[in-house]
């Protein structure tokens, strides 16, 4: 992504955080990660997030999804070399409405239909999260999430190794590339 596009996306995220009454420091605002997953289509396949803390014991993040934005299907696999069973994460909807898809019985007529649904999405058990609702995803569970509103999700998890997430879409690069 280009730096100018990243700044525009950061500003949009800041506006949503403010609507949700989530206060961020100036440093947190400047460090909002704009994840386009290497696809250069952040408003369809993307995520805007602040990592509050990520230690060897726990992780806390605040994530923004804009209408139509999808965080693509992935797993947080075990990492035997780190004696790590995979990330367990709890998503709590703070603002908007989030559609979370996990392994399990597919939901008929599921709500969201992301780009590449036919080739890069395999789980369709739909969990709808509205403000104040939460769901915990077990380690090594295939999942993805999307929205058709401006939404904010808090994530509380075991340590996060985002760069090692395994995506169903082999074109995805988790760590963004920034161009001038």
pTM: 0.95
Four-point Cα dihedral 95, 97, 102, 108, nearest 10? 170
Q: Find all residues with CB under 8 Å of 151, minimum gap 6, and list them.
A: 16, 64, 65, 93, 95, 96, 97, 98
pLDDT band with cut points at 50, 70 and 90 for residue 173: confident
Could you read off the pLDDT of 26-37 as tens digits, one per residue? 999 999 999 999
């Amino acid at each position: 992504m280009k730096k100018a596009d990243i700044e525009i996306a950061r500003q949009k995220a800041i506006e949503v955080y403010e609507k949700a009454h989530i206060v961020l420091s100036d440093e947190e605002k400047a460090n909002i990660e704009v994840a386009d997953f290497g696809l250069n289509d952040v408003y369809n396949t993307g995520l805007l997030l602040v990592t509050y803390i990520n230690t060897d014991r726990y992780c806390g993040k605040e994530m923004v999804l804009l209408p139509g934005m999808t965080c693509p299907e992935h797993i947080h696999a075990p990492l035997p070399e780190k004696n790590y069973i995979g990330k367990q994460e709890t998503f709590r909807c703070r603002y908007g409405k989030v559609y979370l898809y996990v392994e399990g019985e597919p939901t008929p007529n599921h709500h969201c239909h992301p780009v590449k649904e036919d080739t890069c999405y395999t789980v369709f058990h739909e969990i709808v999260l509205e403000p104040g609702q939460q769901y915990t995803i077990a380690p090594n569970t295939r999942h993805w999430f999307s929205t058709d509103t401006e939404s904010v999700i808090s994530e509380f998890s075991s340590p996060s190794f985002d760069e090692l997430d395994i995506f169903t879409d082999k074109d995805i690069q988790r760590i963004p590339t920034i161009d001038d």
